[in-house]
Amino acid sequence: METTAPAGRSTYRPPWRLLIGAALVIFMAIPIVTMVIFGDVPMPTSIDKFKEFTNRLSVPEVSLTFFFTPLFVAGFVFYKEWTKPVVAIPLGIVFTIFYFGSMVIDANYFAILEKPDNVPISMMLFGTGFLMWWAMRQAAINDENIRQGKPLLEGSKDDKVLVWPDLVYTELICIVIASAILVIWSIVLRAPLEAPANPEGPPNPSKAPWYFLGLQEMLVYFDPWMAGVVLPTMIITGLIGMPYCDTNPKGNGYYTVSQRPFIIFNWMFGFIVLWVVLIVFGTFLRGPNWNFYGPYEPWDASIQPAMTNINLSDYFWNGENLAGFGLGVGLPENMWLRELPGIIFTLAFCFGLPVLLARTVMRRMYLQMGALRFYFMAIHFVIMGMMPLKMVLRWVLTLKYFIYLPELNFNL
């Protein structure tokens, strides 16, 4: 961006995008470098070593932290660059070759992908990926046009056509094509059907329908009342409330990123990383006992990873695993006193943090939106943030619950 600076002022601006890009590359390289140098993971010099390498890197704590999230951030920051056809088409081709080519080199991966109930997952992945590119491409062009004062791709308000014939014929053509695809799909692929229902013999793993697997994945980190009831309810209330909270008048009716970056970043993070990616994890990579298996790993039900999960109250009163940090006095008898640190933390996180945000980094937003809109948005926002927070605390501190009140079935 070229700017003409007033006399006497420095024209220097830090190259933010370059710095962010470099930071993301370094961050994404951390697990690969550390695993190769300090771990027992071989360099991927043959197909078998490549498979082991990929399996080791695909565990959620590594892949979500060091791969999917930074990749999402990079996709958002550099949307003007990667959406250019010269970049996007080769990227798409490489991904497609990797995605389907892996079926040739590995029988386990082949078995996962050709399972009839998993066919929609591939469709979802490629459909979402392609349409995301299409949307971001148009946003990039529009944003450039806005910057240069040129008209948008979507044209002006007065440019109207009659529904007959322009729209009804488009609809007719779509109906014909969609019908043909649906019939051909149904001829080629049988609908999934397993053995007759046996109420005595649950399969291992037992999975919910694929579109709920993001929530089932959340069961690893949260109890069912949270993953299966509160979070889905908040997704629905958050979505319905969104138009009333988004007071930004710009970006109404056309593709843009630069005019509404905050909401696009957060909404797309929720949809792509916390919904679509977790569904792929749930369908492709969760095997017997809901254990995690890499894409090229056989589903061996006898593997039982050791799990020692510790509650926040243990950390606070006992100082478990963190000698010197806890009080070391043992858990109190009274359940409310015992869980007091967790309760304070949870209340502070869900209700104190929004107030803090309103007074500091989101002050401008708070003033624009007003209290009711802001706190509705902020509470949904921090509770969405609680998902990655709990995941990271589980991986780093093996934290099980913030609040552990089995007396009331209330564990968070």
- In the window 73-132, what residues touch another protein (CB under 8 A)? 117, 119-120, 123-124, 127-128, 131-132
Query: From residue 116, how far is each of 210, 294, 330 by CA, in Å?
Result: 12, 20, 53
Pick the closer one to another protein by CB: 186 or 321. 186
With CB under 8 A, what is the number of residues at the site for another protein? 93
What part of residues 297-356 is at the interface with another protein (CB under 8 A)? none
**Shortest Cβ distance from residue 288 to another protein (Å)?**
13
**Contact, 248 vs 263, CB < 8 A?**
yes
Identity of residue 42:
P
State whether residue 139 is helix, strand or coil.
helix
Pick the closer one to another protein by CB: 44 or 228. 228
Q: What is the token pair recorded at 40?
A: 């027992």
Among 95, 98, 100, 134, binds another protein (CB under 8 A): 134
Would you count residue 254 as binding another protein (CB under 8 A)?
Answer: yes
- Residues written for the chain: 412
What part of residues 47-66 is at the interface with another protein (CB under 8 A)? none
Which of these, 208, 217, 203, 211, lies nearest to 281 by C-alpha position?
A: 217
What part of residues 377-406 is at the interface with another protein (CB under 8 A)? 405
Beta pairing partners, 399: 310
Pick the closer one to another protein by CB: 26 or 175. 175
Stretch binding another protein (CB under 8 A), from 66-74, 98-106, 135-143, 322-330: 135-143
Half-sphere exposure (Cβ direction) of 202: Cα atoms closer than 13 Å: 7
Half-sphere exposure (Cβ direction) of 93: Cα atoms closer than 13 Å: 5
Pick the closer one to another protein by CB: 55 or 256. 256
Q: Which residue, chain included where needed, has tokens 């593997």?
A: 303
What part of residues 210-239 is at the interface with another protein (CB under 8 A)? 211-212, 215-216, 223-225, 227-230, 236, 239
What part of residues 263-292 is at the interface with another protein (CB under 8 A)? 264, 267, 271
Would you count residue 197 as binding another protein (CB under 8 A)?
Answer: yes
What part of residues 160-189 is at the interface with another protein (CB under 8 A)? 160-168, 170-171, 174-175, 178-179, 182-183, 185-187, 189
Query: From residue 213, how far is each of 22, 114, 210, 369 by CA, in Å?
Result: 34, 18, 5, 34
Would you count residue 208 as binding another protein (CB under 8 A)?
Answer: yes
CA angle 311, 315, 317 (to 5 degrees): 110
